[in-house]
């Protein structure tokens, strides 16, 4: 069961990987894709997998996974990472 959202940060610069786990020292509750341009993908690292995953996304997509890092993006211009109180 998800906790109550306690903090959120928006990211619009993806010049290097973003370690979401390190920001708060815990897993995010969700990652919202807010805006995209054209065909968009996001490559993320997951806590339960050694391999990165590349996902095709649209604006409004909500990823409810233990994403630890945004590795790279293509066409994604704004995301919101949400951390929860458990």
Reading the block at residue 82, the tokens are: 């949400």
Sequence-separated (6 or more) residues with CB below 8 Å from residue 78: 10, 11, 12, 34, 35
Query: What's the predicted TM-score (pTM) here?
Result: 0.88
Q: For each successive 10 residues of the chain (86 residues), what is the average pLDDT?
A: 74 96 92 96 91 96 94 97 83
């Amino acid at each position: 069961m998800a906790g109550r959202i306690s903090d959120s940060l928006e990211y619009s610069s993806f010049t290097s990987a973003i370690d979401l786990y390190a920001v708060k020292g815990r897993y995010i509750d969700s990652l919202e894709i807010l805006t995209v341009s054209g065909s968009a993908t996001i490559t993320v690292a997951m806590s339960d997998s050694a391999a990165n995953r590349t996902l095709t996304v649209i604006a409004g997509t909500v990823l409810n996974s233990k994403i630890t890092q945004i590795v790279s993006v293509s066409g994604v211009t704004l995301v919101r990472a949400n951390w929860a109180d458990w």
